[in-house]
Amino acid sequence: MGLIIPKDYDPHLTVRETQEAIKYIRDTFQKEFGREMHLERISAPLFVKQSSGLNDNLNGVERPVSFDMAVFPGENMEVVQSLAKWKRMALKEYGFQPGEGLYTNMNAIRRDETLDNLHSCYVDQWDWEKVITKEQRNQETLEDTVRTIFKIIKHMQHEVWYKYPNAVKHLPKDITFITSEELEERYPNLTPKERENQITKEYGCVFLMKIGDKLKNGEPHDGRAPDYDDWQLNGDILFWYDLLDCALEISSMGIRVDETSLDEQLTKAGCDDRRELPYHKMLLNGQLPYTIGGGIGQSRLCMLLLNRAHVGEVQASLWPEEMRRVCGEHQIFLL
């Protein structure tokens, strides 16, 4: 099952107390996040037309959940896997200007996910996107934004500590920046996942940058779709999670592709057929705003702040019966 059972695990809160804490974290975080990042909350779709090209292809191998609708004969709908592209289109249609942005609750189904302590087939996150100028498409903008998000998460730790002092996890004081190339040079004999664990354990919290392009060894650090993040201006926020002895990804984000980087990345990824999709045509023709954006896992943030051993403790989903049984024997109560 890929299941990790921490020794002498104690959740500190009952299931009902946990539900109360989840609501408190979600309500408080999104208000502060929207205020600090200058983002407006908007509604978002659960599904999109397959032909629109708006769905996120993730690593290119995950199968989206699809279905038909009586009112759209011959069309397939897909449950979103993320809103990376849809948000950028919304910013244009709603008339957002540089410095303005949006956030939304994104709910997705990832049917091919391997279920373990950190992964569920149900994804819930705050998806956000902000308009920037072409001149702001640089590493300084990216790092400044990451520091703001880290500051908001740290403030949430203090808020949770005030209400649930026995349950809260104390987070590091700062975040460290490193690129995937620097990480490869530092740990050439480790796998990408082992490198992430090693560097995050050393610093406590890391923003790992430049994910998607090939490294010196000919392989990318991790897969990234070629049509939303600029592979030179993106990254993941990772916290060291000693309860499970691994790095915990809280956010994947980045400055989005412009006409040039999209053109290059589509070719590198062997995805030139996407050039004919409506969304990609608009982007290549310079008809969409320049943006920065990403997602912050809602359940993962609750898991981190409440120091929980399994994402199923803070999220209602489906789990194998054997996993439920083993977890229940160790005070890990899956919702």
- Bridge partners (DSSP) of residue 196 are none
Catalytic-role residue among 129, 196, 236, 258: 236
From the candidates 30, 180, 252, 261, give the one annotated as an active-site residue.
252
What's the rounded Cα separation, in Å, for the pair 151 and 130? 18
Give me the catalytic one of 26, 30, 56, 224.
56
Residue 109: inside a domain:
yes
Task: Give mean pLDDT, residues 50-73.
Answer: 84
**242 in catalytic set:** no
Residue 314 to residue 331: CA distance in whole angstroms? 14
Mean pLDDT along residues 11-33: 95
Residue 210: the pLDDT is 97
Band of the pLDDT at 113, cuts 50, 70, 90?
confident
- Residue 335 maps to a domain: no
Catalytic residue among 78, 227, 230, 249: 249
How high is the mean pLDDT of the chain? 93
Q: What is residue 152's predicted lDDT score, i.e. its pLDDT?
A: 97
Q: What is the pLDDT of residue 179?
A: 96
Structure tokens belonging to residue 206: 């890391």
Rounded to 5 degrees, φ, ψ at 255 are: -75, 135
* CA–CA gap between residue 128 and residue 116 (Å, rounded): 26
- pLDDT confidence of residue 59: 65
Contact between 293 and 234 (Cβ < 8 Å): no
Q: What percent of the chain has pLDDT over 70?
A: 99
> How many domains would you assign to the chain?
1
Mean pLDDT of 158-180: 93
Beta carbons within 8 Å of 10's beta carbon, 6+ residues apart: 331
Residue 1 lies in a domain: no
Q: Is residue 333 part of a domain?
A: no
Amino acid of residue 75: E
* Catalytic site residue from 26, 110, 274, 300: 110
Any domain includes 2: no
How far apart are alpha carbons 197 and 183 in whole angstroms? 11
pLDDT of 261 over the 70 cut: yes
Determine whether 10 is an active site residue: no
The reply to whether 125 belongs to the active site is yes
331 catalytic, yes or no? Answer: no
What residues contact residue 61 under an 8 Å CB cut-off, 6+ apart?
112
pLDDT on residue 181: 96
Provide mean pLDDT across the span 128-133: 98
φ and ψ at residue 193, rounded to 5 degrees: -65, -40
Please check whether residue 6 lies inside any domain of the structure.
Answer: no
- Please name the residues in contact with 166: beta carbons below 8 A apart, sequence gap of 6 or more: 12
Q: What is the pLDDT of residues 219-242, one digit of tens each?
A: 899 888 899 899 999 999 999 999
pLDDT of residue 1: 58
Q: Of the residues 120, 125, 251, 265, which is catalytic?
A: 125
Which of the pair, 305 or 56, is modelled with greater confidence? 305
CATH of the domain at 277: 3.30.930.10
Q: Is 111 a catalytic residue?
A: no
Tokens encoding 41: 């909350």
pLDDT tens profile 317-333: 999 999 999 999 999 99
pLDDT for 141: 98
Q: 126 CB contacts (<8 Å, ≥6 apart)?
A: 29, 30, 33, 103, 104, 105, 106, 295, 296, 298
In a domain, 8, yes or no: no
Tell me the residue range of the domain where 182 lies.
15-328
Residue 10 belongs to some domain of the structure: no
Q: Which segments of the chain are extended strands (E)?
A: 39-41, 47-49, 66-67, 77-79, 101-109, 122-131, 176-179, 205-209, 229-241, 246-256, 291-297
Six token digits for residue 319: 């789990």
Q: Is 249 a catalytic residue?
A: yes
Angle between helical axes of 298-306 and 139-163 (0-180°, round to 10): 50
Hey, what amino acid is at 199?
A: I
CA distance 10 to 13: 8
If residue 325 lies in a helix (H) or strand (E), which one and from where to where? helix 321-328
Cα-based angle 114, 19, 334 (whole degrees, multiple of 5): 35
Kindly indicate the confidence band of residue 96, based on its pLDDT and cuts at 50, 70 and 90.
very high
Mean local confidence (pLDDT), 239-250: 96
- DSSP annotation of 215 reads -
